[in-house]
Structure 1
Amino acid sequence: MGLVDLFCVASMPVLKVLLITALGSFLALDNIDILGENARKHVNQIVFFVFNPALVGTNLAKTITFSSMKLLWFMPLNILVTVLIGSALGWILIKFTRAPQHLKGLVLGSCAAGNLGNLPIIIIPAICREKGSPFGEPDICHTYAMAYASLSMAIGAIFLWSYVYNMVRVSSSNIGKEVNTDESKSNCVTPEKLQGSYEEPLLPPEDHSSMESVYQFTLPQSNSDVKGKVPMSDKIKLHLMNFSRNLNLKAIFAPSTTATIIGFIIGTIPLVRKLFIGSTAPFRVVQDSAALIGDAAIPTVTLIVGGNLLKGLKVSGVQPLLVVGIIAVRYIFLPLVGIIVVKGAIHFGLVHPDPLYQFVLLLQYAVPPAMNIGTITQLFGAGQSECSVILLWTYALASVALTFWSTFFLWLVA
């Protein structure tokens, strides 16, 4: 297949995303106001609690088996590598640009956590359906594409709500201290004051209240007379104790994560699988109903993306070098590193020789930041406007970057 043909195959899914995103932006205009801010919050809750879990759980249950997991073991490791390398590059960017304290978690999260769910679920199956796709029969390709993309979404959600969530929480904790100057000696922010300082979250009140409690556990300020006398082992132990107390298990076990566990249980245990999967399964109506709900996730999320990006056009004052740095990390450095990592894994026999699987692994390095980072910043009231600008520019340039890298990756695996 020629390079022009590969470019056409790679560009069509991206154009579909752009069209739906543009429609979301149009519906969010003040004159239209069908997908206004309040509407996006309510729809986002439905996506978070219903659509995404249904999409992830049904696809994993249908396509993941115990034998297939032996072939896909490298994907969690691959995503971990993207997070670690992205975090390292984000830390360098923070040092270079001297980003404000309340934006450090946002910068690290934008560099480390990519959109490993919604975009792959849109792009990869769409490539399978394109004429001249290098991945074989469209139906077979689509089945495996949904399995790979769903697994990518599930693992990405775990890293997002365990790692990025806590990065933003830690960086935003200093804002809470500044708001409550009268209680600076105790380093404790009361829930009553915190509720008046932040906007309404996208998640239910119980999740928000649990986040308020994390501000009650902060490292004590060292006095000048004892500075340098605390052993390093005690400092490490203190950090670990605070981290374990501040860890929000409700956030880690988000609905998509819970659906992932359920999907794995149904897919990998033969007895349970026979109950839900197949034309003769007694509970197949449950699987079919959940799949019908999950089908609404992709278009709904894409519309919300368009509505959220519109907010970035109305915000100014973000350091341009910071935005350029995040774009360079996500669209230049990470894809180059990804080629080295994946090709090295193929060379040493760590990845099975499926071109579609290799393409998914490579694509995980070239996607824009995860959209749920905007949800996390809103939960803590830190860097919401800046996040809108970052997402606006990264997703605006995603049409060019994703088309280029998808074309190159298709050529590389084909």
Structure 2
Amino acid sequence: MSTSPQRFFAARLAGTVVFDPIGEPVGKIRDVVVLPQARGAARAVGFVVEVPGKRRVFLPVTRVTSITPGQVISSGLLNMRRFEKRSGEMLVIADLLDRTVTLLDGSGQATVQDVALDQNRHRDWELSKLHVRRAKTGSGLTKLVSRGETLTVDVDAVSGLHGTQAEQSAALLLASYQDLKPADLGEILQELDAKRRLELAEELSDDRLADVLEELPEDTRVEVLTRLQASRAADVLDVMDPDDAADIVQELPHDLAEELLELMEPEEAEDVRRLMAYDEYTAGGMMTTEPLIVAPETPVAHCLAMISREELSPALAATVHVCRSPLETPTGRLLGIVHFQHLLRERPDRPVGEILDADRHTVPVHMPLSGVTREMATYNLVSIPVVDDEGRLLGAITVDDVLDHVLPEDWREQDEPPALTGQIDLAEISRAAGARGTAR
């Protein structure tokens, strides 16, 4: 870095591309990690960088050779281990922006809008300035005039920046993550402390929180659900796919699980209880009880409208199951299935019962994981119906359900995916799945 004084503002730096020494982009700045000091200003120790795949990693400040508008240049390779905030560290954007501070000149309170860091003579980056917005003061016309006034002050001109003031509101923090996919938001939730994680969870809608919980490790989602109000936890379980809700309920303490099942909608609770009766590593334990089901006289146009619903996962929307009445699981006899590509090739008014796929693959409800895996791999299926001894449809297993059970239980917590060489051996996966099912 240059020895001349430099300054950057954290919020303005967010989104800036990080380049390696040869000019290749490696990620984007998402936050600045600072360490408050017993004496003097907080000092920057590094940056949170988002690399391809939405993974957030740590870039030490000592590895940064240049910070200029539009680019940050680093030396060497990034450590791809997932970033975890250490004790005592703070994130400027996540922890300090929108924090309420008190102006020491006696003029009242203000909220932090941006934070400037200057490079000192030792080439360390220190918090130096705060861009703040004054709180509303006075009443009537005076209050309107003072609203929105902003100013830049020295860090030591305020109190409450570290430690004692209220945290940035969870709603504001959530707004910065609104475009993230559930898996990426789940990864961020894991990085927060338990109190902050609960605050953020409480701000999420029921549907959004349900999607995120499905992406979290067992211990984290149990922690979140047990700390939510019971009525809210039951509402979240209501909007989950029944198979995912059943998996989570089985992880909860028995008394809490029963309480939540009593608070759930009766129909949803019934589906969850039915799935909990099956061993986790069987077809019944993996299936969802809410596949797409239609009668044979249903026109193709209606089926296409069903599969276009935004809330359906791609794997679940890929197949329509044609059954005799009743059309809710357990249904009448399963007549067959139709894949969405087949529906696209037919005229809209044609009854779906006339175009059933010739190849029909089903699995019995007690088939072990290894058998289900082998069946889906052999015939390249993204989903497969689960039937009882009378041929009635009980549910369907999608490929993501199988992957969740085949992968190691802690796969969401692993910093690096296992290395794959050559072709994936599906037979070996089936053998491994069989071993997992037998072990349990």
The TM-score by the shorter chain falls in which range?
A: under 0.3
TM-score by length of 1: 0.20
Normalized per residue, the structure richer in helix is 1
**TM-score normalised by L of structure 2:** 0.19
CA radius of gyration, larger in = 2
Relative to its length, the structure with more strand (as a share) is 2
